[in-house]
Amino acid sequence: MSDAAPPPDVLAGLAAIVGSSHVVTDPDLIAAHLVEPRGLYQGRALAMVRPVSTEQTARVVALCHDRRVPLVPQGGNTGLVGGHTPDSSGREIILSLQRMNRVREIDASANAMIAEAGVTLANAQAAARDADRLFPLSLASEGTCTIGGNLSTNAGGVAVIAYGTARDLVTGIEVVLADGRVMNGLSKLRKDNTGYDLKNLFIGAEGTLGIITAAALKLFPNPRSMATAFIGLADPAQALRLLEIARQFAGGGVTSFELIPRIGLDFVFAHMSGPRDPLGSRHRWYVLLEISSQMATGVDETMASMLHAALERGVIEDASIAASHEQRLAFWLLRESLSEVQGKEGGSIKHDVSVPVGAAPDFLARASEAVEAFMPGARVVSFGHLGDGNIHFNVSQPIGADRRAFLARWEAMNEVVHGVVAQFHGSISAEHGVGRLKRALLKRTKDPVALDVMRALKSTLDPRGILNPGKVL
- 15/245 with CB nearer its own copies: 245
DSSP state of 180: S
CB 190 to its own copies: min, Å: 5
Query: For residues 45 and 72, what is the distance between their CA atoms, to the nearest angstrom?
Result: 9
CB 178 to its own copies: min, Å: 11
Q: Quick one: 428 exposed, middle or buried, by C-beta within 10 A (0-12, 13-18, 19+)?
A: buried
CB 73 to its own copies: min, Å: 16
CB 385 to its own copies: min, Å: 7
CB 81 to its own copies: min, Å: 9
- 258/388 with CB nearer its own copies: 388
CB 229 to its own copies: min, Å: 18
Q: Where are the beta strands (DSSP E) in 272-317?
A: 285-293
- 423/445 with CB nearer its own copies: 445
- 129/190 with CB nearer its own copies: 190
Rounded CA Rg of the chain = 23
Query: For residues 376 and 117, what is the distance between their CA atoms, to the nearest angstrom?
Result: 45
Rounded to 5°, angle at Cα 184 from 79 and 63: 70
- 240/287 with CB nearer its own copies: 240
Query: For residues 323 and 321, what is the distance between their CA atoms, to the nearest angstrom?
Result: 6
Q: Which residues contact 247 (CB under 8 A, 6 or more apart)?
A: 254
DSSP state of 356: -
Phi-psi region of 103 (alpha: psi -120 to 50; beta: other; left: phi over 0): beta
SS3 384: strand
- 40/272 with CB nearer its own copies: 40
CB 182 to its own copies: min, Å: 7
Query: For residues 206 and 204, what is the distance between their CA atoms, to the nearest angstrom?
Result: 5
- Cβ atoms of 147 and 98 within 8 Å: the answer is no
